[in-house]
């Protein structure tokens, strides 16, 4: 088996048992490992090139446009971490980036919550959201979210109820930050089913 186009087949490409017999599963497994690593590396190169192209094509980033504004931030200068062929030097998240990732998690979690949860699932979800509000790694956000949860207990009776509660909780933050409210009738399209063409 050839490891790549550049690497010819040699005896060292094959693995042998202790008794000196050719070991097909070990050799195949090593080949599989090689292919998956190679795919990961090539994907990273592809991703880096794509980011570079987008950055070059958009020297003026419109800060009002969240989609394009977030692109160049990823792997700011596209430089790799020393010793890594996989990870670019990406900055720690700021409140905005953390917020988008956290809301994505929270809304998706609600969208995947059972339609008819068991008592244990309901209790787990209530407990999780309470703990989440204690440990959210942005102090003033966490304090406000804690207050919100105390005032408006998470509605954990069903997927629909929880998703709407989450939407309202997010709208509470949107309003605080001077952003428009999201129409909660569309939670399902945004976080579960996608939009019809």
Give the residues lining the site for ligand FAD (CB under 6 A): 66, 95-96, 99-100, 102-103, 107, 136, 140-141, 144-145, 167, 170-171, 173-174, 177, 179, 182, 187, 190
Q: Which residue is nearest to ligand FAD (CB)?
A: 99
Partners of 80 in beta bridges: 88
- C-beta of 136: minimal distance to ligand FAD in Å? 6
- C-beta of 155: minimal distance to ligand FAD in Å? 14
Considering the complex, state which of residue 113 and residue 145 has its C-beta at the smaller distance from ligand FAD: 145
- C-beta of 175: minimal distance to ligand FAD in Å? 10
Considering the complex, state which of residue 14 and residue 103 has its C-beta at the smaller distance from ligand FAD: 103
The Cα angle at residue 167 between residues 165 and 170, in degrees rounded to 5: 110
Termini Cα distance of the chain: 46
Considering the complex, state which of residue 144 and residue 160 has its C-beta at the smaller distance from ligand FAD: 144
Considering the complex, state which of residue 63 and residue 177 has its C-beta at the smaller distance from ligand FAD: 177
Considering the complex, state which of residue 36 and residue 65 has its C-beta at the smaller distance from ligand FAD: 65
- C-beta of 104: minimal distance to ligand FAD in Å? 7
- C-beta of 105: minimal distance to ligand FAD in Å? 8
């Amino acid at each position: 088996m050839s490891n790549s186009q550049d690497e010819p087949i040699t005896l060292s490409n094959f693995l042998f048992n202790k008794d000196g017999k050719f070991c097909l599963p070990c050799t195949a497994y090593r080949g599989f490992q090689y292919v998956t690593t190679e795919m990961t590396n090539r994907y990273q190169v592809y991703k880096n090139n794509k980011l570079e192209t987008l950055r070059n094509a958009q020297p003026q980033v419109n800060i009002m446009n969240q989609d394009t504004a977030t692109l160049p931030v990823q792997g700011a200068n596209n430089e790799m971490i020393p010793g890594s062929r996989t990870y670019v030097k990406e900055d720690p998240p700021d409140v905005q980036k953390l917020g988008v990732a956290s809301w994505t998690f929270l809304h998706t979690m609600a969208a995947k919550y059972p339609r008819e949860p068991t008592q244990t699932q309901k209790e787990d979800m209530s407990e999780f959201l309470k703990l989440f509000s204690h440990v959210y790694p942005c102090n003033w956000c966490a304090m406000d979210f804690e207050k919100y949860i105390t005032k408006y207990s998470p509605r954990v009776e069903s997927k629909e109820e929880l998703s709407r509660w989450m939407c309202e909780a997010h709208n509470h933050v949107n309003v605080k930050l001077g952003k428009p409210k999201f129409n909660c009738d569309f939670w399902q399209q945004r976080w579960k089913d996608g939009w019809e063409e």
